[in-house]
Amino acid sequence: MSLWQIIQRLLPYVRPYRRLVIATLLLTLVGSLAAQVNPYVLRYTVDTVQNMLNRGEGLAQGWRLLLGISAALLGKEIVNTFVQFGQKYYGEKIRISVSSTLAQEAVGKILGYRLGFFSDEGNQTGKLQTRIDRGVESLMKLVQNFFIDILPLFANAVVALVAMFVANRWVGLVALAILPLYFWLSYAQAEKLQGVRRGLQRLREEKNHGLISIIDSITVIKSFVREGYEADKQADTQARLTGAQLTTRKTNFRFDGLKTFVEQIGMVLIIILTAYLVLGGQMSIGAIMFHILLFNNVSAPIRQLHRIYDEMNEALTYSEGFFAILDAADAVETTGPLRPARVQGRFELRHVDFTYPSGTAALHDVSLTIEAGKTTALVGLSGAGKSTIINLLCKFYAPDQGDLLLDGQSLAAYDTHALRRQIGLVLQKNHIFKGTIEENIRYGDFTATQEQIEQAARQAYLHDQILDLPKGYQSDAQQLSGGQQQRIAIARLFLKNPPVIFLDEPTASLDAIATEQIKNSLDAIKQGRTVVIISHSLAQIVDSDCIHVMKKGRLVESGTHDELYERRGTYREIFDASARSLNIERLAKTMADDGDEVLDTAL
């Protein structure tokens, strides 16, 4: 993106504050005029004192002068105080408002993007956050520089330069001659930093991402005693980051030194030239002070030039990444016009192929039907593509080929939000938000009353357990056991009350007791709905109306438990393996013995 394109992108965000921008600019212009008061007052003072000395006058005659200049300088300073306050406050207000709009827009956009966007390498948690933070920060500086700083800074320099030309054209020319050199040095400095900065951004993203992944995997790191290895990995990124930061600083210090030197040369030339003119009788002695201060007024804003140029380049680097987030139009979830009040829930996949954005081919030519109002199980080894089917049915991803139908209409034709309102999803581990149990259940329906929430908890067989907690429904939900958290997720679904339910290994992370306890909740939520269940637990699939068996992304068998068992195919293999892993024979023997004992006792 060019600077001009970025400014154009920013304009709509700044437009609501145009009055503030104009007010700030006016204030700053007043400030830049006020800044020229000092040279004039000091020249007048020096010249008048000189004349008084020449006339042999003393303090008795000088007090009027002192009073006059004190009033002028103080008056100017009072004006300046107001000007500076207004300028800084309004400037800050514009910057903060624009940046919060930008940040909010990024959040809004991201929420609307499809899941594939988040699995993209450049959009991992830490990286995305760095990109947004840096982007907003540098755009904020750009707003400050372009809409608030630049004009007054140059006005200040130009006013001072004109005053120098008016005083003497040679003095003006010396001041003017220094400027191109100064501009060139600033330009060279910024150019040198450009490449380093891109590297810096990449390294910062890497570092943030690394830190987040350490926190995420801390248990594994500790259990494998890989603290040293992880620290070394971070140290490498940190070392490259330090190197890049030091290069930036070194370049800056070198150029800053050169620029100060050039400025000083300008100052020396002006002093020599003015002293020559004063000694030649062409000027009064006050001119020395006058020219030095004016030159300072020329060079002070120019000194900021590098900062502005630098920050603009920074904005160029970071805003590209930021606007790429806002502009990821192809990541926006697609939607359709259909908004049925309540779907039947008959899903059909016809010759569906699907490949994840990462390139993993997950489904090949899958055709199957999920009947409305029935329970359908998806069975297969890990990685067979079961969850992928659910991902497609929720419209989290779109198939590469083939058709997905719901109640005879293409899934693509459904309004995505309307569709998801009709689907309840229970995963292996459901997200429990920070907050109370009540808030977490209410997530299913924000308008629910306390009674409805309790009713949902009752349906999920959770109500009595909640009442046993010291704080009841106000207890911290994240402190609950895995089984209780799963039941919160199910209670949430009772509130949402969707006609279609997808259960993706809902008990996989629970122990046997919790699994048994949750069975009632699951059986309750299945009533009168279309249910698709993925589970490794045979108990949960044998009763299904239909079982589809997946293998390596393909559908290999379909039927009821009995049919598939008799067929002696993949389902039978999985079933037998599960039975063996459970050591069914031994268990059966124990239970039979137990039965005999019971029988003996009874006899």
Contacting positions for ligand ADP (CB under 6 A): 119, 356, 358, 360, 362, 380, 382-388
Distances (CA, A) of 491 to 436, 439, 475, 500: 14, 12, 16, 15
CB of 118 to ligand ADP, least distance (A): 9
Beta carbons of 93 and 147 less than 8 angstroms apart: no
CB of 534 to ligand ADP, least distance (A): 6
Cβ nearer to ligand ADP, comparing 9 with 429: 429
CB of 360 to ligand ADP, least distance (A): 4
CB of 343 to ligand ADP, least distance (A): 23
Beta carbons of 345 and 500 less than 8 angstroms apart: yes
How many other CB atoms are there within 10 angstroms of residue 567's CB atom? 13
Q: What is the DSSP-derived secondary structure letter of residue 334?
A: P
Cβ nearer to ligand ADP, comparing 374 with 554: 554
Cβ nearer to ligand ADP, comparing 361 with 584: 361
Cβ nearer to ligand ADP, comparing 91 with 385: 385
Cβ nearer to ligand ADP, comparing 104 with 360: 360
What gap in Å lies between CA 92 and CA 86, rounded to an integer?
10
Long-range contacts of 538-542 (CB under 8 A, 24+ apart): 538/575, 538/578, 538/579, 540/377, 540/507, 541/377, 541/379
What gap in Å lies between CA 506 and CA 483, rounded to an integer?
10
Cβ nearer to ligand ADP, comparing 260 with 358: 358
Beta carbons of 187 and 318 less than 8 angstroms apart: no
Question: What is the full DSSP assignment across 531-598?
Answer: EEEE-S-HHHHTT-SEEEEEETTEEEEEE-HHHHHHHTSHHHHHHHHHHHHHTHHHHHHHHHHHHHHH
Cβ nearer to ligand ADP, comparing 277 with 534: 534
In 172-193, which positions are buried (b, 16+ CB within 10 angstroms) versus exposed (e)? bebbeebbeebeebbeebbeeb
CB of 413 to ligand ADP, least distance (A): 24
Cβ nearer to ligand ADP, comparing 498 with 553: 553
Beta carbons of 283 and 275 less than 8 angstroms apart: no
CB of 393 to ligand ADP, least distance (A): 12
Beta carbons of 446 and 472 less than 8 angstroms apart: no
CB of 116 to ligand ADP, least distance (A): 8
Angle at alpha carbon of residue 30, lines to 27 and 34, rounded to 5°: 135
Name residues whose C-beta falls within 8 Å of residue 249's C-beta, 6 or more positions apart in sequence: none
Cβ nearer to ligand ADP, comparing 160 with 510: 510
Cβ nearer to ligand ADP, comparing 119 with 217: 119
CB of 541 to ligand ADP, least distance (A): 14
CB of 262 to ligand ADP, least distance (A): 56
In 370-407, which positions are buried (b, 16+ CB within 10 angstroms) versus exposed (e)? bebebbbbbbbeeebbbbbbbbbbbbbbebeebebbbe
CB of 390 to ligand ADP, least distance (A): 8
Give the pairing type, strands 546-551 and 375-380: parallel
